[in-house]
Structure 1
């Protein structure tokens, strides 16, 4: 868990992904479309990190796991909900992941 929190705190927007996850690709594309350039950590070959995401944060499914401003925001469903109500962009601006 400490490793995840350390990685999540190093950049304004951080996404933990797997290469085979279509929702991970969609969430990354959404962030890029909004003008953010998130740190992307692929956990394909890191079962310990996947276990930490599942047990430490309760991520089910484990990816995508999104952090903004060092805080866990949620999975794809949570990010899409925030985007639809307009608060995702505001969160990214507040965390200085995007500038206007």
Structure 2
């Protein structure tokens, strides 16, 4: 069973999901297959979004990541995971992240796991973040 969710972005970095079925599918709709496993959802979301952050709902570091990226001009997709979904993250991403324990929040740019907040900031300070974002089509300069 497929359910369409409408995603609205506001200027103050707030994203609202509208669970009522839209009259037509808009380009910002998210399709969720209720039969899909957490691991499959995570893999699909990574492949569909050039910049995506996976976080626990209680994590404040995802806000820091999002703020850095929006300052540069990129609006990342942020997925807040439930505890049982967070436990699926390492299994789903074994091949993508070889650094041992997957950080929370974890950011993916162009289907590649960058790591956590420290890795993102290091990438930015080294001058490699903007070219990487341009390369994956998340930023136009």
Q: TM-score range by the shorter chain?
A: 0.7 to 0.9
What is the rounded CA distance, in whole Å, between the counterparts of 1:30 and 1:11 in structure 2?
Answer: 18
**Does residue 115 of structure 2 align to residue 74 of structure 1?**
yes
Structure 2: where are the runs of 5+ without partners?
1-38, 94-100
SS of structure 2 residue aligned to 1:6: helix
Greater percentage in strand: 2
* Count of residues in correspondence between the two structures: 96
8 Å contact 2:40–2:92 — kept in the other structure?
Answer: no
**Does residue 135 of structure 2 align to residue 94 of structure 1?**
yes
SS of structure 2 residue aligned to 1:25: helix
SS of structure 2 residue aligned to 1:66: strand
Deviation at 1:18, TM superposition (A): 2.7
TM-score, L = length of structure 2: 0.62
Find 1:28's aligned residue among 66, 84, 89. 66
Structure 2 match to 1:53: 89
SS of structure 1 residue aligned to 2:57: coil
What is the rounded CA distance, in whole Å, between the counterparts of 2:88 and 2:127 in structure 1?
Answer: 30
The ranges of structure 1 where at least 4 consecutive aligned residues each deviate by more than 6 angstroms after the TM superposition are none
Greater percentage in helix: 1
Instruction: Say which structure, 1 or 2, has more relative contact order (CA 8 Å, 6+ apart).
Output: 1
Deviation at 1:93, TM superposition (A): 0.7
> Deviations 1:30-59 (Å, cap 9, x if unpaired)?
01111111111011xx22320122455431
Structure 1: where are the runs of 5+ without partners?
none
TM-score, L = length of structure 1: 0.85
**Does residue 51 of structure 2 align to residue 10 of structure 1?**
no
**Structure number with larger C-alpha Rg:** 2
Deviation at 1:89, TM superposition (A): 1.1
